[in-house]
Amino acid sequence: MPSTPMPKVELPVQDSAHHQFWRTPLWSWWRPMVAVVLGLLAFFVLSMIAGMVAIGLDMASGRTTVEDLQNMDAESIKATPALFLVNNISLALLIPLAILLSVWLFRQKGGWLVSVTGRIRWGWMGRCFAVLGPLWLVYVGLDTWLRARSGEGLGLHVNSDTWLLLFGILLTTPFQAAGEEYGFRAVLMRSAASFFRHRWLGFAVGAIFSSVLFMFAHGAGDMWLNIFYFCFGLIACGMTLRTGGIEAAIAMHVVNNVLSELTMPFTDISGIFNREAGTADATVLVGVLVPLIGWALVEWQARKSDVVASAAPGLARQQELDEQLATWQQQMITWQRAQAGPGSTL
């Protein structure tokens, strides 16, 4: 009687939080390592391509010349609308990249990257936008008012790039923010966490690993900015753990980025990527307090709506396979006895 190897279940067979969803019977040590290496390599390549495309667009429009490129060094790079928008699009491409890695390496459809229910919970995401939007409106509005009352002022004015940037921000920034959540909170956090069976140890390692990379990805040389990026990443990881998905983290990231960028179309954006030492100070910690308050609001809504934070979607399949295995083993014993003939001790 020929033997047939039993397939391995690709979804969690025990109650698992979002960061544990790659720790399945199919898990092998090399799968998350390949996911991290390919993910980081793709991030680097996309960034390089975005830079080259932006330079090409700026040269085609006459904004940049060959002489400018020859005299340009890493510290003198100025942001342009093309560079900003192409960079947004390249980060948005992390969404299909994350889905491809999930399907190829872990045989899980893209919906499992988003939540433990295997889909985007649009109603839940809407709740998150509803509570986080007003918080950030107050924060950004107060910050804008304080800067307007300072000696320097805001210097807002309509310019030749205003409408391009305004529509570009509204169309691309939400996908850019979501792309970062797919890449850092779904792929990178899960990859590191999958090496540990213990829920909290896996979360701690995964959250720190992904948040450190999230910080480095922003390329800041300023200590205070790095503290902000790291803490923002940790808070997004915490939201993901407590709500069973990245919808809340996406909502926070989208609200933060879109609202903080709304004055950009009316200013000189050449220095928006300047994150060298001295560009920020301890007041950036206020920017950490706001996401913490946002997390508390998300927690409040999660309790009110009984959001599913963990699941074992592969359990039923595992039980089915176990029954099939038991049946097959019994059939093997019967077959072996028949082959051995009368008087066998099998």
Domain parsing of the chain, residue ranges? 16-307
If you search the block for the tokens 């997390």, which residue do you land on? 295
Q: How many CA atoms lie within 13 A of 276 on its CB side?
A: 6
The overall average pLDDT reported for the chain is: 90
Nearest to 168, CA basis, from 258, 107, 286, 235: 258
How many percent of the chain have pLDDT more than 90?
Answer: 69
Condensed to tens digits (0 to 9), the pLDDT of residues 111-159 reads 999 999 999 999 999 999 999 999 999 999 998 888 888 766 677 889 9
The model's pTM: 0.92
Q: Judge contact between 269 and 79, C-beta under 8 A.
A: yes
Condensed to tens digits (0 to 9), the pLDDT of residues 94-109 reads 999 999 999 999 999 9
Please report which confidence band the pLDDT of residue 61 belongs to, taking 50, 70 and 90 as the band edges: confident
The predicted structure's pLDDT at residue 117: 97
Nearest to 91, CA basis, from 176, 203, 16, 185: 176
The predicted structure's pLDDT at residue 3: 55
For residues 326-332, average pLDDT: 78
Condensed to tens digits (0 to 9), the pLDDT of residues 214-271 reads 999 998 999 999 999 999 999 999 999 999 999 999 999 999 999 999 999 999 898 8
The predicted structure's pLDDT at residue 306: 92
Instruction: Give the Cα separation of 161 and 100 in Å (integer).
Output: 35
Q: Judge contact between 120 and 207, C-beta under 8 A.
A: no
- The pair of three-digit structure tokens given for residue 236, joined into one six-digit string: 């997004």
Please report which confidence band the pLDDT of residue 292 belongs to, taking 50, 70 and 90 as the band edges: very high
Instruction: Give the Cα separation of 291 and 311 in Å (integer).
Output: 26
Q: Alpha carbon of 109 to those of 46, 105, 192, 317: distances in Å?
A: 23, 11, 20, 16
